[in-house]
């Protein structure tokens, strides 16, 4: 419960207490009917100025005097609290949006997620788990509010417009995930983003298989069809359940301290032009090399010990986060 809510509840409780005390006092002191006592209390504390509903005794007038002093004070306090709450809500929203834009303007080498539906939310959670900076853009204000409440940077705007892409730093971004609702929107975003930043690494979702090639021709580096992927995985789970279980393990059940990562071998690294057997990465660093993506584009799975690492290659490795960071440092370290 935030401070503003507490203040409003406290003000409401004070007003209710004044009305309750006033109603009870008029009933007990001057035998007012309950509704008349309540009505007398209301127009007294609101300073309307009506005359007494029934003649008051001296004790009743003394009591009414205290109700005027305390009731009017509470009423003015309530009006001030409500006014302050309205101002804070209005200005707070403006200030939050300005702060959000300033934070987005400072983003560099980040990722952009276009669309915060089911696919976009999954991508955001994955990037957040990997401690990667990203910005969400969606035209639905409710989805943006959901993202902001979850502690993410988000902008309510149309991702298919160039000014929106500039606003989320497309020219400074490292990559983009286009997960909008239609293939046409994803195609349009891909074309726009690649025009503004040709070096952008872009992955897009596709609903219809016929649109996959169009997205690739538009510049998408990776295209995923969620429904097709789900169908394949469901089919694999029946005849090959252990394979499916292993894929689930590598995809999301590695644990908080284990991950699969790609690490680039720098051309000047001391590990360049050495075989896996010579590097002894598993023994000395504690990582398992699952594959080598050669600079030519060839993917070498389960590489043998004599497989040679060249500068520009990517090692697909599995290990603990600390070991992966250690390996990255070794492979990018300049050999004297």
Higher pLDDT, 291 or 86: 291
Distance CA 322, CA 2 (A): 38
Residue whose pair of structure tokens reads 């999954």 in the numeric block: 122
Return the CATH number at 298.
Answer: 3.30.70.1450
**248 found inside a domain:** no
Which of 162-166, 195-199, 270-274 is predicted least confidently? 270-274
Average pLDDT over residues 91-95: 58
Q: Which residues have a Cβ under 8 Å from the Cβ of 70 and sit 6 or more positions away? A: 18
Average pLDDT over residues 137-165: 91
Residues 172 and 287 in one domain: no
pLDDT band at 196 (very low <50, low <70, confident <90, very high): very high
Residues 36 and 138 in one domain: no
Higher pLDDT, 203 or 51: 203
Q: What is the pLDDT of residue 177?
A: 94
**220 found inside a domain:** yes
Q: What is the pLDDT of residue 185?
A: 93
Q: For the CA atoms of the chain, what is the radius of gyration?
A: 33
Tell me what the pLDDT averaged over the chain comes to.
83
pLDDT band at 159 (very low <50, low <70, confident <90, very high): very high
The answer, yes or no, to whether residue 134 has pLDDT greater than 70, is: yes
Average pLDDT over residues 157-162: 92
Which of 77-81, 261-265, 278-282, 293-297 is predicted least confidently? 77-81
Q: What is the pLDDT of residues 170-190, one digit of tens each?
A: 999 999 999 998 999 999 999
Q: What is the pLDDT of residue 250?
A: 62
Q: Domains in the chain: how many in total?
A: 3
Residues 115 and 73 in one domain: no
Distance CA 39, CA 59 (A): 19
Residues 184 and 225 in one domain: yes
Q: Under a CB-based contact definition with an 8 Å cutoff, are residues 134 and 124 in contact?
A: yes
Q: What is the pLDDT of residue 72?
A: 78
The answer, yes or no, to whether residue 56 has pLDDT greater than 70, is: yes
Return the CATH number at 204.
Answer: 3.40.50.720
Domain span at residue 10 reads: 3-102
Average pLDDT over residues 52-75: 80
Q: What is the pLDDT of residue 325?
A: 86
The answer, yes or no, to whether residue 247 has pLDDT greater than 70, is: no
Average pLDDT over residues 283-305: 89
Give the range with max mean pLDDT: 41-50, 102-111, 160-169. Answer: 160-169
Q: What is the pLDDT of residue 321?
A: 81
Q: What is the pTM of this model?
A: 0.58
Return the CATH number at 28.
Answer: 1.10.287.70
Higher pLDDT, 81 or 293: 293
pLDDT band at 226 (very low <50, low <70, confident <90, very high): confident
The answer, yes or no, to whether residue 5 has pLDDT greater than 90, is: no
Residues 215 and 115 in one domain: yes
């Amino acid at each position: 419960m935030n401070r503003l809510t507490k203040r409003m509840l406290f003000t409401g409780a004070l007003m209710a207490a004044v009305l309750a005390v006033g109603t009870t006092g008029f009933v007990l002191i001057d035998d007012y009917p309950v509704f008349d006592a309540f009505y007398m209390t209301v127009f007294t504390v609101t300073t309307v100025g009506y005359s007494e509903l029934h003649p008051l005794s001296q004790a009743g007038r003394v009591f009414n005097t205290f109700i005027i002093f305390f009731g009017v004070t509470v009423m003015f306090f309530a009006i001030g609290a409500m006014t302050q709450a309205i101002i804070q809500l209005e200005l707070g929203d403006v200030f939050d949006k300005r702060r959000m834009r300033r934070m987005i303007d400072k983003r560099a080498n980040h990722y952009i997620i276009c669309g915060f539906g089911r696919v976009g939310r999954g991508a955001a959670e994955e990037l957040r788990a990997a401690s990667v900076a990203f910005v969400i853009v969606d035209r639905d204000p409710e989805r943006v509010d959901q993202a902001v409440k979850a502690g993410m940077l988000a902008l309510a705007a149309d991702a298919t417009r160039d000014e929106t892409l500039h606003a989320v730093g497309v020219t400074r971004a490292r990559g983009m995930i286009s997960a909008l609702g239609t293939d046409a929107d994803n195609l349009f975003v891909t074309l726009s983003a690649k025009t503004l930043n040709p070096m952008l690494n872009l992955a897009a979702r596709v609903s219809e298989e016929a649109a996959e090639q169009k997205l690739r021709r538009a510049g998408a580096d990776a295209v995923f069809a969620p429904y097709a992927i789900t169908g394949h995985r469901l089919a694999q789970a029946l005849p090959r359940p252990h394979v499916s279980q292993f894929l689930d393990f590598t995809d999301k059940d590695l644990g908080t301290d284990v991950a699969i990562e790609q690490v680039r071998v720098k051309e000047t690294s001391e590990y360049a032009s050495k075989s896996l057997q010579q590097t002894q990465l598993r023994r000395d660093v504690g990582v398992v090399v699952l594959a080598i993506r050669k600079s030519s584009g060839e993917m070498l799975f389960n590489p043998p010990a004599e497989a040679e690492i060249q500068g520009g290659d990517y090692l697909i490795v599995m290990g603990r986060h600390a070991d992966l960071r250690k390996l990255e440092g070794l492979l990018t370290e300049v050999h004297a």
